[in-house]
Amino acid sequence: MTGIPKTHPRYHSLIARENIVEGVNKGITSMQGLVAQGRGECFDYLLGERTVPSALLAEKITSALLLLADRPVISVNGNTSALVPEKMVELASVTGASLEVNLFHRTEERVSRIISHLESFGATRVLGARGDGRLDLEHARAIVDQEGIYSADVVLVPLEDGDRCQKLVEMGKTVIAIDLNPFSRTSKTATLTIVDNVSRAMANMISYSQQFEKYSQEELEEIADHFDNSTFLSEAVGELMENLKNQ
């Protein structure tokens, strides 16, 4: 790992790069994941590397949705397992969600490495190795666990690649995407999209979920009531344009 001083103005971004590279070296992140991270960094830069107000609201709503769900699942891929392993384990524990490994560039070896990696951060049970359920897709993201994503009512999909998101929505699930690109197919097809860096989004959702743990069902429903994904996307685009104008 390159020594990055904490005083560096882009410390968090550089550490994320180091973590992704380490993920590739450990065999948990795909090489393609490096490219995806670069695209994310670019959008993050344009957004000012901060959580914009609409994203914070989406994170608040998501926390309520996860707590209200009967069978919530957090989908894990090679990028998120390198970037935010401990945060995913913590969010799952606070909200009662299951963690399930679901990969686009799937190999059974990578699935089991990611499971062990999450276990090293305290996860007790990670789904995804069984792969006994199928979504109607022609690539490996179709392989899911019956007791996990297949039967989930709410699925959190950080850094997704489009058509699985659509398929899950068609199956009647509430699908929440985390994607720094407000123009992506995933962002447009999810029930709700958090346009934020997965690292900041996870941290905010952990604190909201801790705060909401004692809330009644009615209070949570009030938070999660009536949202329109297109408003969140246009507000993110508005923030991006404003940021560009002010350069």
Binding positions for ATP: 17, 39, 179-181, 185-186, 197-198
Name residue, tokens 């938070």: 223
The site string for ligand PTJ over 84-103 (x = CB under 6 A, - otherwise) reads -------------------x
Determine the 3-state secondary structure of 175 from DSSP: strand
Residues 7-66 that bind ligand PTJ (CB under 6 A): 30, 32-33, 36-37, 39-40, 43
Token duo for residue 3: 């020594």
Binder of ligand PTJ out of 90, 100, 163, 179 (CB under 6 A) = 179
Task: Please report, as residue ranges, which positions from 123 to 162 form the binding site for ligand PTJ (by CB under 6 A).
Answer: 159, 161
232 interacts with ligand PTJ by CB under 6 A: no
184 near ligand PTJ, rule: CB under 6 A: yes
Q: Do the Cβ atoms of 88 and 118 come closer than 8 Å?
A: yes
- In the complex with ligand PTJ, the residue whose CB is nearer, 92 or 159, is 159
Other CB atoms closer than 10 Å to residue 18's CB: what's the count? 14
DSSP 76-99: E-HHHHHH-HHHHHHHHHHHTPEE
CB of 153 to ligand PTJ, least distance (A): 22
Q: How far apart are CA 177 and CA 201, in angstroms?
A: 11
Q: Measured from the CB atom, is 78 or 148 closer to ligand PTJ?
A: 78
Site residues for ligand PTJ, 102-121, by CB under 6 A, read 103-105
| Cα separation, 41 vs 153, whole angstroms | 31
Q: Tell me if 180 contacts ligand PTJ by CB under 6 A.
A: yes
Which range, of 5-13, 166-174, 180-188, 205-213, touches ligand PTJ by CB under 6 A?
180-188
Nearest-5° angle of CA 196, CA 115, CA 166? 45
For residue 164, the number of C-alpha atoms closer than 13 Å in the C-beta half-sphere is 24
Residue window 190-229: x/- pattern of binding to ligand PTJ, with contact defined by CB under 6 A: -------xx-------------------------------
Would you say 165 and 189 are in contact if contact means Cβ atoms under 8 Å apart? yes
**Integer Cα distance of 92 and 110 in angstroms:** 21
Tokens of 72: 């919530």
Residues within window 64-83 making contact with ligand PTJ, judged by CB under 6 A: 77-79, 83
Q: Select 152 or 178, whichever has its Cβ closest to ligand PTJ.
A: 178
# of chain residues touching ligand PTJ (CB under 6 A): 24
Is the distance from CB of 33 to CB of 89 less than 8 angstroms?
A: no
Kindly list the residues in this chain that would bind ligand PTJ in the complex (CB under 6 A).
Answer: 30, 32-33, 36-37, 39-40, 43, 77-79, 83, 103-105, 159, 161, 178-181, 184, 197-198
